[in-house]
Amino acid sequence: MGKEGRITAHQIAAMLGVSQPTVSRALRGDKKVNEVTRARIVALANELNYSVDHNALRLRTQQTYSIALVILCRRGENKANINPFYL
């Protein structure tokens, strides 16, 4: 198994004799993957309790879906009066 005992898409691919991108496409529901192949991949992924590593996905897609909020305070202002929920 992979890091921390987690199964990886690479391992699923090796077990089924397909490529890792095929595993990824099948689990995303891509229509380019043969239905029989998709069913085999999904069945094995479910059997092994495979789940997508969302941190790896964010690195690959370069999208975090996060918003940063920066609140500036002037020198001498009481920071306790700033409530970000009002913004």
pTM over 0.75: no
CATH of domain 3-81: 1.10.260.40
Do residues 27 and 40 lie in contact, with contact meaning Cβ atoms separated by under 8 Å?
no
The DSSP annotation for 17-73 comes to TS-HHHHHHHHHT-TTS-HHHHHHHHHHHHHTT----HHHHHHHHT-----------
The Cα 50–Cα 44 span in angstroms is 8
pLDDT digits (tens, 9 = 90+) for 13-51: 999 999 999 999 999 889 999 999 999 999 999 999 998
Q: Which structure tokens are listed for 41?
A: 């991949």
pLDDT digits (tens, 9 = 90+) for 54-66: 777 788 778 888 8
> In degrees rounded to 5, what are phi and psi of residue 8?
-115, 165
